[in-house]
Structure 1
Amino acid sequence: MNTRQLLTGMSLFLYSAFFLNQPAYSKEVTPSFQDYRVVESLQKVFESVAEKVKPAVVNISTISEVKINHPPIPPEFKDFFFHFGVPFPQFPDKFRTRSLGSGFIVKQEEEWAYILTNNHVVDKATKIKVKLSDGSVYRAKVVGKDPKTDVALIKIKVGNKKVPTVELGDSDRIKVGEFVIAIGNPYGLNWTVTHGIISAKGRHGLGLNPIENFIQTDAAINPGNSGGPLCDIHGKVIGINTAIVRNAQGLGFAVPINIAKKVMNDLLKYGKVIRGWLGVYIEDISPELAKKFGVKKGVLITRVMKDSPAEKGGLKNGDIIVEFNGQPVKNVADLQLKVINTKPGEIVKIKVIRDGREKVLTVKIGQMPGTEHLALEDLISKFGFSVQELTEDLRERLGIPRWVKGGVIVTEVKPGSPAEDAGLREGDVIVKAGTTPRNLRRVKNLDDLLAVIRNAGDSGILLKVVRGEGVFYVVLNQEE
């Protein structure tokens, strides 16, 4: 056999081996009846969820006022305009912004419908409008906000009208890989439905919220989806669509509904969010530390706060917390959630590794500082004024009469607010509050005023006010 014959034989062999093993692209693919049934069943699930949940999803539009801090203008610059007889230009000190978001109706009590959404959707809004799926539009009021989890609860007055509500699920039971459906108003395209899967659970360290335990999903989420529901295949809400990673695809994050439910229940019951507090700075332990201490999981205490529940309970810098009340501690986010979900005053057992040995400590959980301030911000902002407790220093500087015992002093009154309409001014001292002359009670501190406002509901509030040497009464009504 010569070279030409050898090359010809090899070419024929390779040609046959390549083409005889290729798939028959020309062969027609005919799906079976069973194939169609499977796809149609999945399609019906998505259709069912959309029909069930969409009516309870709302469009939220807000107007906010943003203050502008102008740099100081030199007198010479003003003199220049004055020299030529030209009025000095007046620069605006604020401007209005508009934004869109989503929300969903969770419950209806009497004439009020309550809506869960994101805090960043309604934060600093001066006006909030809610559009229902039937096209009706309502002015909304903020029940309360929680910046730490980016959850807010608002309400609309619907009267005798029956509105659709969603069913809340259990975000602790969901699993990675499950189908999910997101509904919202991306870019103003109302009641858009997208689907995907749960990509991950317990995402934290993203720098989006102080408290993070996000559900990650690849369901399409865009600006305007914020505050909308993330649902399972049964139509139960398992999360609040919250954030996206810009310039990325398939990276959306939702606040677990179990976190939102606690925030909602606390706001309705207490007017603020009640959280447990341990009082430690912590960080995840590295693989090297884990190997040295002989642990697989846990968190390292880098600092114990002075006079905190942790210090009183015997925790020390360098301790590694491995168990909290009998449950293993996985990481920083896991411990944070365990602590904040513990009722203040509850006694817990905390197992630590100290100097290579296990030690179990008994700690009385405290209440996270700052929740009272948030409640004050949420409740007082409805009427357009802010206050602080009357101290001796303020009494001296403002010349408050000595016969005024206790009270809170008005530090700011927003223009056009119910407080301004009622006649309140900066420097006024609120000494009594109630809903009628009969139930007026002394206001010794901030908590006294908050209690009256919280219990008053939507009725007007009667205030006894001291201004200079005079005393008068005002009635505050929430803006409709």
Structure 2
Amino acid sequence: MRTKLTLLSAALLTASLSSPFIPVSASAAIPQSVNGQMLPSLAPMLEKTTPAVVSVAVSGTHVSKQRVPDIFRHFFGPNGPQEQTQERPFRGLGSGVIIDANKGYIVTNNHVINGADDIQIGLYDGREVKAKLIGTDPESDIALLQIEAKNLTAIKQTDSEEIRVGDFAVAIGNPFGLGQTVTSGIVSALGRSGLGIEQLENFIQTDAAINSGNSGGALVNLNGELMGINTAIVAPGGGNVGIGFAIPANMVNNLVAQIIEHGEVRRGVLGISGRDLDRELAKGFGLDTQHGGFINEVMSGSAAEKAGLKAGDIITSVNGKKIKTFQELRAKVATLGAGAKVDLGIIRDNKTKSITVVLGEADATVSSEAGGIHPMLQGANLENSKKSGIVITEVAQGSPAAMNGLKKGDVIVGINRDRISDLKTLKEQLKDPKGSVALKILRDGSLLYLILR
């Protein structure tokens, strides 16, 4: 039986949202007693918390392009169609969490709503409300929605940096479209990364049973406070085996704040490359600790260089919180946002010290996942050119970007009649595109146009 990591949205389900939830009964809110002794129960907490967790139903159309077979192209001649477009309708179910009752903000996973034309929210009291997409961050798999509705309940917040392994955890979501379901367990591990689920990983691991459809649901503590957003499971054969992952609440809040303020995530960057501090490396440097991020290189002109970081430094904490791996460091820094001041604890020459860094803008130095900019660019990685324009550094085989004719090494220099100089300009131009988009491409010294439909 093959073990695989599975994102939790229940895609391609056609279940109705007419009865999206199974409410906790009123009688369950009263703990039972034995010989006059009251038995412990989660029901009182859940009665206050479950109304903040919603179901998310999406529908849309996947558009793909395929090359017309040579035999047909020969029949139609050189002016005939070179490719054919296929449209496939889809439906899916997931979960979401209300974080602001007054403004109607709901957090879910990006993969739940990705490509959706219609997003419907099922509230705890049975109401169905159409949602507006405010913004997404594909690299961390977070999306922010907004609804217009009265009498909403927002979830309470907690500092996810204070979570400890062994803390009790309760998962609330909409698995398999069955209706709201509650399971409990503990926090099994913290700072999980290197799983290949998302580009930015710093997961809470839990053994609370979560399954397909729980994506975007809440992981809460015994006070009903949000610990994280459920995202993925380790699933041999697609079933739950008690290994689930959630995005920490602090990470979610940092990303949401940027989306609300800027309409997008302005990712922070240190400007370093490095690796985990493992046993062999620690032994070579004569260190007792085996946790931290080892700096291999500091980029010229980067925020790290300006702050005085050097190759060979070992970063052990971010804003007073210890880190275990370089991936955890990367995820925390990237979600804090450009311009944020960060206090880094480091080890240099076997001495500990603290350095304050003002994070740079990620768009200036780091490639960006293009799917969050335009659906037909999904599968391409973009990076600002050293001269002008945007270089395509990678194109995934079979992706929408590849189907649209984009290739590694292409440089985007314009959209329709407008010149494009960098990623920021590209995002602005494609924020609300009308109809087809013509990308002006520089390829092998020649200019051409590619149409994104």
Q: Where on the TM-score scale, by shorter chain, does this alignment land: which range? A: 0.5 to 0.7
Amino acid at match of 1:93: Q
Q: Distance in 1 between matches of 2:280 and 2:421?
A: 54
Residue deviations 1:425-469, cap 9 Å, x none?
x975479xxxxxxxxxxx999868978999xxxxx999xxxxxxx
> Could you say if the C-alpha distance between residues 453 and 42 of structure 1 is closer, same or farther in structure 2, counting changes exceeding 3 Å?
farther
Residues 1:69 and 2:65 are matched in the alignment: yes
Residues 1:131 and 2:122 are matched in the alignment: yes
* Aligned pairs for 1:33-112 within 5 A: 40-43=38-41, 46-75=42-71, 79=75, 93-109=86-102, 112=103
- Greater C-alpha radius of gyration: 1
Q: Is the contact made by 1:143 and 1:378 (CA closer than 8 Å) also made in structure 2? A: no
The corresponding residue for 1:276 is: 268
Residue deviations 1:78-120, cap 9 Å, x none?
64x99xxxxx9x96522122111000211133xx411011111
Deviation at 1:319, TM superposition (A): 4.0
* Aligned pairs for 1:422-437 within 5 A: 429=417
Q: Distance in 1 between matches of 2:297 and 2:97?
A: 41
> Could you say if the C-alpha distance between residues 306 and 178 of structure 1 is closer, same or farther in structure 2, counting changes exceeding 3 Å?
same
Amino acid at match of 1:175: R
Q: Secondary structure at the match of 1:263?
A: helix
The match for 2:197 among 183, 208, 213 is 208
Q: Secondary structure at the match of 2:66?
A: coil
Q: Is the contact made by 1:272 and 1:374 (CA closer than 8 Å) also made in structure 2? A: no
Deviation at 1:240, TM superposition (A): 0.7
Amino acid at match of 1:215: I
The match for 2:174 among 185, 192, 195 is 185
Q: Is the contact made by 2:271 and 2:365 (CA closer than 8 Å) also made in structure 1? A: no
Deviation at 1:51, TM superposition (A): 1.2
Deviation at 1:213, TM superposition (A): 1.5
Q: Give the aligned CA root-mean-square deviation in angstroms.
A: 4.3
Q: Is the contact made by 1:271 and 1:375 (CA closer than 8 Å) also made in structure 2? A: no
Residue deviations 1:287-310, cap 9 Å, x none?
122122122243222333344333
Amino acid at match of 1:368: A
The corresponding residue for 1:407 is: none
The corresponding residue for 1:246 is: 235
Amino acid at match of 2:164: K
Amino acid at match of 1:309: A
> Could you say if the C-alpha distance between residues 63 and 339 of structure 1 is closer, same or farther in structure 2, counting changes exceeding 3 Å?
same
Residues 1:117 and 2:118 are matched in the alignment: no
> Could you say if the C-alpha distance between residues 258 and 357 of structure 1 is closer, same or farther in structure 2, counting changes exceeding 3 Å?
closer
The match for 2:186 among 193, 197, 201 is 197
Q: Is the contact made by 1:298 and 1:322 (CA closer than 8 Å) also made in structure 2? A: yes
Identity in percent: 38
User: Which ranges in structure 1 are unaligned for 5 or more consecutive residues?
Assistant: 1-32, 83-87, 382-388, 395-425, 432-442, 455-459, 463-480
The match for 1:224 among 213, 218, 243 is 213
Amino acid at match of 2:160: S
The 10-residue stretch of structure 1 (338-347 or 131-140) with the greater mean CA deviation from structure 2: 338-347
* Aligned pairs for 1:285-296 within 5 A: 285-295=277-287, 296=289
Amino acid at match of 1:204: S
Deviation at 1:256, TM superposition (A): 1.0
Q: Distance in 2 between matches of 1:449 and 1:355?
A: 44
Amino acid at match of 2:145: I
Q: Is the contact made by 1:62 and 1:125 (CA closer than 8 Å) also made in structure 2? A: yes
Q: Is the contact made by 1:345 and 1:366 (CA closer than 8 Å) also made in structure 2? A: yes
Amino acid at match of 2:132: K
> Could you say if the C-alpha distance between residues 65 and 360 of structure 1 is closer, same or farther in structure 2, counting changes exceeding 3 Å?
same
Q: Distance in 1 between matches of 2:196 and 2:423?
A: 32
Amino acid at match of 1:101: G
Q: Distance in 2 between matches of 1:288 and 1:446?
A: 40
Deviation at 1:242, TM superposition (A): 0.8
Which gives a bigger RCO, structure 1 or 2 (Cα 8 Å, sep 6+)? 2
Amino acid at match of 2:298: V
> Could you say if the C-alpha distance between residues 449 and 34 of structure 1 is closer, same or farther in structure 2, counting changes exceeding 3 Å?
closer
The corresponding residue for 2:146 is: 155
Q: Is the contact made by 1:144 and 1:375 (CA closer than 8 Å) also made in structure 2? A: no
Q: Is the contact made by 2:139 and 2:369 (CA closer than 8 Å) also made in structure 1? A: no
Normalized per residue, which structure has more strand? 2
In the alignment of these two chains, the number of paired residues is: 363
Q: Secondary structure at the match of 2:187?
A: strand
Residue deviations 1:196-249, cap 9 Å, x none?
111122211211122212111111100001101111111111111111111251
Amino acid at match of 2:55: N
Q: Is the contact made by 2:255 and 2:336 (CA closer than 8 Å) also made in structure 1? A: no
Q: Secondary structure at the match of 2:214?
A: coil
The corresponding residue for 2:334 is: 340
Amino acid at match of 2:40: L
The corresponding residue for 2:406 is: none
Residue deviations 1:156-187, cap 9 Å, x none?
122xx222222122212222222221111100
Amino acid at match of 1:181: V
The corresponding residue for 2:443 is: none
Deviation at 1:357, TM superposition (A): 7.4
Q: Is the contact made by 1:64 and 1:98 (CA closer than 8 Å) also made in structure 2? A: yes
Amino acid at match of 1:155: Q
Q: Secondary structure at the match of 1:70?
A: strand
Q: Secondary structure at the match of 2:212?
A: coil
TM-score between both structures, scaled by the size of structure 1: 0.64
Q: Secondary structure at the match of 1:339?
A: helix
Residue deviations 1:356-397, cap 9 Å, x none?
77787775431222799979976888xxxxxxx9xx999xxx
TM-score between both structures, scaled by the size of structure 2: 0.67
Q: Secondary structure at the match of 2:260?
A: helix
Deviation at 1:253, TM superposition (A): 0.9
